[in-house]
Amino acid sequence: MITKCHSKKTVQATNAHHKNAFSEKILYLNEDRSFFEEDLKYIDRERKEYVVLHNLKTQENDIRAIGEEFLKNFSQFHAKRKNTTVLEHFKISLSPENFQEVLKSPSILQDLVLQWLNLYAPDCLGYAKLHFDKAHPHAHILISGNLLGSRKQNRKSKAEFQSLQWKFEQYKRQKYPSLEQRDFYKMGYHRKQEMKRSNAEQEMTQRQGRKGKPSRRDEIKENLEKIFQDSFISSKPEFITKLAENGLKFFERGKVSVGVIDTLRTSKNKHRFRTLGMGEEWKQTQERWDMIKNRELEFEAVKQEKVRRQFKGVQRVVTEVLNIADTVRDKAFFDTMKRKRERGKGRGLSR
């Protein structure tokens, strides 16, 4: 089981203050508080196997050098503000039933410590100490508040932290099946949220059963479902009119806050489509309106093109008729002139 004991935060950003914080913590983890002297002799070996180092340049259990390395990383790169996390203290505990197994193979607990460090703080400084001074084997882990060589804090949200706990437990279950397996984290953050929602829905169902009728919110949702499914509504004005018939008024603020106002209640409650779980229906309805509008524009363009072609054909026919008329008129004119000339010649000969 992995638990977070606490975080050490800044009060005044002074190196002396933080140096004491590092020293106190590291000295605490190295206290010899063993009640199992005979068992600990089995893995004593200068006690080096009791230590886990993570991203530290120090390759041995040099407490002073490790403390200086933590302090240097913090003092050079930490954010210059109050409440900056200096250290995070975690504890990994195993069941008392596994004490003898872990005591004989401390690499099990060391591997679990390294797995947690790689999951939670792959880019931070880490120092861990394995303890066998109680009935349950456990390890204390210190993690730097900021990343190695960076002022960025190693922050994790509640959901992220619980997800890492669950991954850590799955790793322990798969790699060390001989250890006692307890599902501490089988219900993750998102699963808890789903249970809260299902409980709320169950309470709503019970409340509806007691009253014998659905809530106003459910009525609004049911009316909206019918309106969204109405294929005869082909535009936003028609949609707003249909809402008004059901005691609802459309409101829109930007692209996100879109919904209806309950005009039948004096409180004029607002119900957004997204909170009603109908955001996708609203999006699909808008897409359908856009498609209908585009089709109407295409139809109008085709209609105008047809009229233009018809007009062009009529214009061509009229032009041809006019050309024929001109031709006939010209021929009549020439015939008249010819007859006049012939008459003139006849008169000359008679004289």
Q: What is the DSSP string of 192-252?
A: HHHHHHHHHHHHHHHHHHHHTS--HHHHHHHHHHHHHH-TT--SHHHHHHHHHHTTEEEEE
Give the dihedral of Cα atoms 303, 304, 308, 310; nearest 10 deg.
20
- Percent of the chain scoring above 90 in pLDDT: 5
Of residues 32 and 124, more confidently modeled:
124
Can you give the pLDDT at residue 179? 83
pTM for the full predicted model: 0.48
* pLDDT-based confidence at residue 184 (cuts at 50, 70, 90): low
Can you give the pLDDT at residue 120? 93
Residue for token digits 């808008």? 286
C-alpha 316, offset from chain centre = 64
Closest by CA to 284, choosing from 273, 276, 296, 295, is: 273
Is 261 within 8 Å of 251 (Cβ atoms)? Answer: yes
The Cα–Cα gap between 83 and 10 comes to 5
Q: Which helix (H) or strand (E) holds 39?
A: helix 37-41
Give the residue-averaged pLDDT of 166-175: 88
pLDDT digits (tens, 9 = 90+) for 250-275: 988 877 778 898 888 877 888 888 88
The Cα–Cα gap between 144 and 56 comes to 11
Give the residue-averaged pLDDT of 325-335: 73
Does residue 77 carry a pLDDT above 80?
no
Does residue 290 carry a pLDDT above 70?
yes
Residues with Cβ within 8 Å of 61's Cβ and at least 6 positions away in sequence, in order, are 30, 47, 48, 50, 51
Question: What are the residues facing 6 on neighbouring strands?
Answer: 89
Give the residue-averaged pLDDT of 93-114: 89
Q: Could you give the strand order of the β-sheet that contains 138-144, starting from the edge strand earlier in sequence? A: 2-9, 85-93, 138-144, 126-131, 51-54
Instruction: Sketch out the chain's domains with CATH numbers.
Output: 2-156 (3.30.930)
Can you give the pLDDT at residue 42? 34
Can you give the pLDDT at residue 296? 85
Does residue 68 carry a pLDDT above 90?
no
Give the dihedral of Cα atoms 223, 224, 226, 228; nearest 10 deg.
170
Dmax (CA) for the chain in angstroms is: 167
Can you give the pLDDT at residue 43? 31
Residue for token digits 């504890």? 91
pLDDT digits (tens, 9 = 90+) for 201-226: 666 665 555 555 677 888 888 888 88
* pLDDT-based confidence at residue 86 (cuts at 50, 70, 90): confident
Give the residue-averaged pLDDT of 180-194: 59
The Cα–Cα gap between 93 and 105 comes to 15
Mean pLDDT of the chain: 76
One-letter amino acid for residue 219 of the chain: E
